[in-house]
């Protein structure tokens, strides 16, 4: 009799979750061809250097057009400032140390209104960060799938993540994320 009651409670709970849309969340894969993680940092106090990371991977989950979670993985070796010599220097132990720390990751832990909080790991150090975001979509794409876009800006101090100070290079880094994610048309 107790097992029957437990089964009924579980069945009612699951049907309640389905009715509230909790189980209806949609997960979208980040489209690296339409995604950019850019950065800007001070150089010699008088100018700024900009760059980006190419080939970002990740997922964005929404429920009823609201962001539920997001993850991202960046391959440090893909840093691109448009100057090969500088890019190689950024990959070196003076900065990212790409051989020892090949990825930068973000995994959300909480989303409230237009603020996302999560674990950000860079250079072997994980810290919790919170930043504002804008979510657009989802929309139907020309191929019958669904797409959405997420954009965000924040800044961080690179020395908080174990990077050494370097003469002429600022510590505060501005980060701009523009991500497009897709969910293919479901086949029947």
All domains in the chain, ordered by first residue: 25-183 (2.40.128.110)
pLDDT of residue 81: 97
pLDDT less than 50: residues of the chain = 1-22
What distances in angstroms separate CA 119 from CA 133, 138, 157, one per listed residue? Answer: 16, 25, 15
> Would you give the distance in Å from CA 84 to the centre of its chain?
25
pLDDT of residue 36: 94
pLDDT of residue 188: 61
pLDDT of residue 83: 97
Record the tokens describing residue 78, joined without a space.
């893909």
pLDDT of residue 165: 92
> Would you give the distance in Å from CA 164 to the centre of its chain?
24
For the chain, strand residue ranges (E) read 26-30, 36-43, 47-53, 57-63, 66-75, 79-80, 103-112, 115-122, 125-140, 146-157, 169-183
Mapped onto helix, strand or coil, the DSSP state of residue 82 is: coil
């Amino acid at each position: 009799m107790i097992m029957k009651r437990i089964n009924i409670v579980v069945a009612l709970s699951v049907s309640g979750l389905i009715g509230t849309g909790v189980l209806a969340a949609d997960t979208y894969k980040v489209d690296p061809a339409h995604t950019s993680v850019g950065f800007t940092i001070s150089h010699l106090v008088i100018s700024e250097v900009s760059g980006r990371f190419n080939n970002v991977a990740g997922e964005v989950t929404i429920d009823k057009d609201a962001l539920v979670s997001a993850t991202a993985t960046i391959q440090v070796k893909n840093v691109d400032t448009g100057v090969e010599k500088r890019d190689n220097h950024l990959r070196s132990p003076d900065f990212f140390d790409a051989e020892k720390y090949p990825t930068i990751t973000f995994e959300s832990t909480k989303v409230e209104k237009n603020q996302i909080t999560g674990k950000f790991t860079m250079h072997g150090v994980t810290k919790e960060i919170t930043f504002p975001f804008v979510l657009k979509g989802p929309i139907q794409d020309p191929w019958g799938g669904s797409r959405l876009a997420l954009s965000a800006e924040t800044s961080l101090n690179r020395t908080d993540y174990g990077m050494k100070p370097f003469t002429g290079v600022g510590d505060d880094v501005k980060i701009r994320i523009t991500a497009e994610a897709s969910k293919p048309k479901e086949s029947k």
